[in-house]
Amino acid sequence: MTDPAATLVRARWYDGRSSQAQPVLVGLEPGPRGPGLRLHALMPGTAVPPPFFAHDEVEWPEAWRPSRAQRTVVVDLRRAGSLEIDDGAQWHAALEAAGARPGLAQRMQTRWRVFVGVLLAAVLALALFYRYGTPWAATQLTRFVPLGWEQSISQEAMRELDDGFLKPSRLPAERQAALRARFDALAAQLGTGEASSLHRYRGYTPRFELAFRSGMPANAFALPGGQVVVTDALVNEAAKAGLADDALVGVLAHEMGHVVHRHGTRLVVEQGVLNVGLGLALGDVSSVVSMASTVLTGLAYRRNHEREADCFAARLMQRAGLPVAPMADLLMHIDGPPTGGKDEAAASKDGGAPKSTDGTRTPSAADWLSSHPDTAARAQALKEGRGCAAGA
């Protein structure tokens, strides 16, 4: 046992009614639930403090840091007034000597860490929900979107695009007819029972239509419901590269994959889920978070779409007895972001989406355009015929 006198700390006692301080010595004594506090009056006067306080009868100051050793420590004795101790370091040492569990300050820090941990876990859970939860919900909800709704939205989108940067095709009519014939043959292939395993949504029967347009760099895109658009630039690029039409047919098969998997509809439904969910959860903050989560989810989601569409194309081409390699060659040939066209098309190709002025993402015609990231990797995968077994 240490000498009790060694643990006595100088303090001023206030009775809580007058501003008059009384010098006292504070002794800290081990107790069952923690140190108790014994007061020794130095100047016995009119008001004498109660001599002993059990651990529970004291509001122990919570945070004490060695760096603040010069700070006055205030100990609340509740109805018995309060103590002021000038030597914080001595007080702390005496507390520890009396068996105070190591560091009230440390416990505060632990609580802080727990708080940060919980906060991080909550943020992570939210991020995971929007990364995986909303695409899943969108995929399920898309089952209930009627084909007629997709077709009317696509007509509207096509009008918007035609009023915008799309121009009529300048390809010769017979060239268009030849490619359309091959497109229709592919669509017919898909319609037969033999190829029914390629269908992603049971009972979903899109009406495939091929349209030719100019005014855009080498590209092809699909609208929900079956409208596929190919640009003159893509057709010309394939010819320039000396590729057989099988290359273009492969790209068209890929676009059919987007239709069959209803990727455009899923993106729009997902956006709806995000807006509604975040609107409910966060109110005003939603627009900012929604935008961020759209970018986050959009990148992986679209890459996933491209894989699905590629696998679909590879399987459909194989069933039709057509080679897949020319398509991969064409992809490699048109790799890289488009340099021409309007900003809207470029934004969509980059995987982002046009933003309205208030920061939220508003669905527009350009949303329906499919993006084609990681072209080199995709072309390689197509040629090697890998990546489909697991994903399809």
For Zn ion (CB under 5 A), the number of binding residues is 3
Cβ distance to Zn ion smaller for residue 57 or 335: 335
370, 378, 379, 381: residue in contact with Zn ion (rule CB under 5 A) = 370
If one asks whether residue 218 binds Zn ion (CB under 5 A), the answer comes out as no
Q: State the minimum distance, in angstroms, from the CB of residue 115 to Zn ion.
A: 44
**Six token digits for residue 170:** 């300048």
Residue nearest to Zn ion (CB): 370
- Decide whether 11 or 247 has the Cβ nearer to Zn ion: 247
- Tokens found for residue 173: 């009519």
The residue among 98 and 256 lying less far from Zn ion, judged by its C-beta, is 256
Q: Which is nearer to Zn ion, 55 or 263 (CB)?
A: 263
Least Cβ distance, residue 370 to Zn ion (angstroms): 4
Query: Could you tell me the smallest distance in angstroms from the CB atom of residue 275 to Zn ion?
Result: 24
Least Å distance, CB 267 to Zn ion, is 12
Site mask, Zn ion, residues 249-288, x = CB under 5 A?
A: ----------------------------------------
Closer residue to Zn ion (CB): 139 or 370: 370
Residues 298-357 binding Zn ion (CB under 5 A) are 306, 309
Residues 46-65 that bind Zn ion (CB under 5 A): none
Nearer to Zn ion, 150 or 306 (CB): 306
CB of 258 to Zn ion, least distance (A): 5
Q: Which residue number, 55 or 302, has a Cβ lying nearer to Zn ion?
A: 302
Q: Name beta bridge partners: 361.
A: 355
φ, ψ for residue 159, nearest 5 deg: -60, -45
- How far apart (Å, rounded) are the C-alpha atoms in residues 381 and 80? 79
The residue ranges that bind Zn ion (CB under 5 A) are: 306, 309, 370
